[in-house]
Chains A and B, each alone.
Chain A
Amino acid sequence: MKQEGNKREKLHKKKIMALLFLGMMGIIVLINLISRDKEFSDKENRMLEQKPQITLSGIESGRFMDQYEAYKSDQFAGRNLWVALKTRVDLLVGKRESNGVFKGKKHYLLEDIARPNEEQMQQNLETIREFESKYDEIPMYMMLVPNAANILSDKLPNFAVTEDQNEVFEGIQKALGEQITWVDVSKTLAAHKKENIYYRTDHHWTTLGACYAYQQLAETMNLDTSKEPKLTEYAVTSTFNGTLSATSGYETGYEEPIYIYAPKNEDDAPKVVVNYVEEQKKTATLYDSSKLEEKDKYAMFLSGNHATVDIRTTADTTDRLLLIKDSYANCLVPFLTPYYREIIIIDPRYYYGNLDEVMAENKITSVLFLYNGNTFVEDNSISGVLQNGETE
């Protein structure tokens, strides 16, 4: 009798299992049928795959199937929730890395140190040297900013290993030679690593980090810092959640402030006119507060990245700076305005003009390259832009 009952129980159990599975599958299918397709994912900052058109050639080559699979998972209902679930589980079982981002200690997210693309990098370095040799009388500087995973290596998860960025930097400094003055901010930043010099959820340095680097830069470039106006720190937002958080799925709820350093007394500082050349837009401020309403709030510095930004100031000098840079420069530029009549900022990733013309037409008196390590060692645009003058 008991045997019989057990058996029935087992049968019963399997039917429940079958119904559970079918139920879960059915509900998910239904929700997906009801939910509307989205065009854009804020979290991932990219266009989502849309329903592909059926074509014979698309089916024959298999392209249609690939697109359809991408479409189905891009538009999967509750996608962000599923991703959050997976990230939670990963953390729970001890994983501390996602999409090349480490989940460090004290809420720090740290981008892994990039391995140099040697061939490209050597080419970049060579063209920088060639560029320098064309303008012997104009001093040139290179500021390579180490990334958080280097300076804050004690914040990395236990035992985590990264590329040795210091070694890479040494190699770069050697390759550039004596003619290009190396602005050593690695030591400066390392000396201040207890302070908030990097964002916790973003791959950029904070304005404070940039401020220390600027002090080092001023020393190396012999800037007359007696002109420096008194600066005060203002928080422009306290709800910044940066790109590392979006990339990794970690710390998506963590919010941190962005500071700017502005003159206490406005009359102490020179006035500026910021000209976004390609966009043909001029403003009288280095900051774009409309970006504070968006996801990527770091773009409030110089309104994000632009091919050319031309800043004219009322500073009492005839010095003109050409700044070739990535986004790390954006929050450092405000510190430099008292020392230059004009700062021309070029971002080679978006720039298609001729730098020799820029040099000649604007009477540039010094050149600064400012990059963070990870972008520089993977960059594929510097050599093209610097060579443009020769090839044309």
Chain B
Amino acid sequence: MLFSSIVFLFTFLPIILILYYIVPRRFKNAVLLLASLVFYAWGEPVYIFLMIFSILFNYISGLDIARKLKNRQAAKRSLVFTVVVNLALLGFFKYEGFLLGSLNAVLPVNIPYRELALPIGISFYTFQILSYIIDVYRGNVKVQRNLMDFALYVTMFPQLIAGPIVKYSEIDRQLRTRQESWNKFGEGVMFFVRGLAKKVLLANTIGMVYTEVAALPSGQVSVLSAWLGCAAYTFQIYFDFSGYSDMAIGLGKMFGFEFLKNFDYPYIATSITEFWRRWHISLGTWFREYVYIPLGGNRVTVAKHLRNLLVVWFLTGLWHGAAWNFVAWGLYYGILLIIEKYFLGKMLNKLPGVIKHIYSIVLVMIGWVFFFSPSLGSAFGYLKVMFGAGAHGGIDRESLYLLVTNLFLWIVLIVGSTPVVYRSYEKFFSRKGREHVIVDCVIYGVMFLLCIAYLVTETYNPFLYFRF
């Protein structure tokens, strides 16, 4: 189930909210767990069993590791076994086709395989589980003896299918004691509605521009069209993904949870290094904590540091999808970060702000070309058009149409990618009391209504029988 659906907004969420707030405290986690299982099963009726297996296996493994903590050797063996099983499950369901396909291409063999449907959210919940297991081993967190609380940590529906990746240590205490309040609920509503609007009003709408450009026959794409298509995707993925994170954070707050921020205006970054401090923060934190630093981080020889960076970025790419273009996308960032770290860093600092902004946003946009292209070859093909080779002129009618008919949207997207509006709004109204409340309510109320209108219209589907 998606948050941005009529069934979620007007059937699932109301029922869960009522149940959650009428049951006594000791049943609240049970309600959330049940809700999360239904939520997951709604989209993945079969893979729910895989998830339940994962929960049971890791619950027991956690206990096992904790029991052996006095004996480091035994604990380590248990840890390695658990991590391997988790990665094997992820590997089997997410990477089997990719791995065997690549092997078949490179080696003179032909291993038959069947493409499995990817269990939704498996990349997210596997990483959450790993953070728990590793932290138990490290002694950073106490082992969770309550199966229900553990299951709730893994399945919690607000962040189950698209993050943020919540580390167990962040939420351990909240699972036992947390405070729901009107205050938090109201904040949650604002996060949720903002996220919903980002996803439904902005991401989905600009996504159509991207789809339109992507559907143009090759040879019909002008330079401007190619850049507009790439810009459309750049906005789409940010507003989609960060919108989802905002909705997750908002829903969490409605049930008394506090999740950490996952996006921090990534497109205003002045360097690639900064971009990755602002983009999908929970994933970056995870890789730093469980891969980069254990490998030695930057406190090693230069050669090893380079290796560490490339390993992390290879894996980051692979995490996003089982295909070579994602790997290329990850390594692209690995290399850029190395260049910034060892060569460009000081020079960049001296450049004027505008240049730094342009520098990073252009590199990020080029990165997304690798991300959205179905293959490496087509990514390079698209990049060529962006830089004029094989393009349908610099500017053609199609590109002007895409630009002009969406002009208002483009402006909203650009401004919305910066903190300007939000901050000046807060600043302007912070001194006013009553007006602030009214204006806020009107803005959020209208945003919510518009989202409903857009969601209902998605299925407005006139039957074209009378076309004939």
Contact = CB atoms under 8 A, between A and B. Distances in A.
A69 B161 CA distance: 18
A249 interface: yes
A45 interface: yes
Interface stretch (B72-80, B124-132, B458-466): B458-466
Contacts of A22: 17
Interface in B172-225: 182-183, 185-190, 192-193
B467 A82 contact: no
Interface string B407-446: 1110000000000000000000000010011001100110
Contacts of B5: 69, 73
Interface stretch (B88-96, B162-170, B255-263, B394-402): B394-402
B455 interface: yes
A336 interface: no
B436 A45 contact: no
A191 interface: no
B462 A45 contact: yes
B456 A82 contact: yes
Contacts of B1: 65
Contacts of A243: 462, 464, 466-467
Nearest to A99: B462
B10 interface: yes
Given A29-B14, A82-B452, A161-B401, A18 B462 contact: no
Given A14-B187, A20-B445, A25 B459 contact: no
Interface in A262-304: 296, 299
Contacts of B182: 11, 14-15, 18
Contacts of B189: 17-18, 20-21
A69 B1 CA distance: 9
A155 interface: no
Interface in A132-181: 157-161
Interface string A343-362: 00001010000000000000
Contact of A14 (B7, B186, B445, B457): B186
Nearest to A156: B401
The B contact surface, by secondary structure, is: helix
B301 to A, nearest CB: 52
A13 B457 contact: no
Interface string A25-60: 110110010000000000111100000000000011
A9 interface: yes
Contacts of B397: 159-161
B43 to A, nearest CB: 7
Nearest to A203: B467
Interface stretch (A83-91, A123-131, A182-190, A308-316): A83-91
Contacts of A99: 462
Contacts of A96: 405
Given A60-B46, A85-B453, A349-B468, A46 B461 contact: yes
B460 A83 contact: yes
Most chain B CB inside 10 Å of its own CB: which residue of A20, A21, A243, A326: A21
B454 interface: yes
A79 interface: yes
Contact of A86 (B43, B193, B457): B457
A17 B456 CA distance: 24
B450 to A, nearest CB: 6
Interface string B1-19: 1000111011101100100
A13 B440 CA distance: 9
B404 interface: yes
Given A43-B462, A62-B43, A160 B401 contact: yes
Interface string B23-47: 0000000000000000000111110
B186 A73 contact: no
Most chain B CB inside 10 Å of its own CB: which residue of A29, A43, A327: A29
Given A73-B455, A375-B468, 10 more contacts: A15-B185, A18-B186, A20-B441, A24-B448, A46-B465, A79-B460, A85-B449, A86-B454, A93-B408, A94-B406
24 contacts: A9-B433, A13-B186, A14-B182, A14-B186, A14-B187, A17-B444, A18-B182, A20-B441, A21-B444, A24-B449, A28-B10, A29-B10, A62-B45, A65-B43, A74-B459, A82-B452, A83-B453, A97-B405, A160-B401, A160-B405, A161-B396, A161-B401, A243-B466, A249-B457
Closest 3 interchain pairs by CB? A14-B186, A46-B463, A159-B401
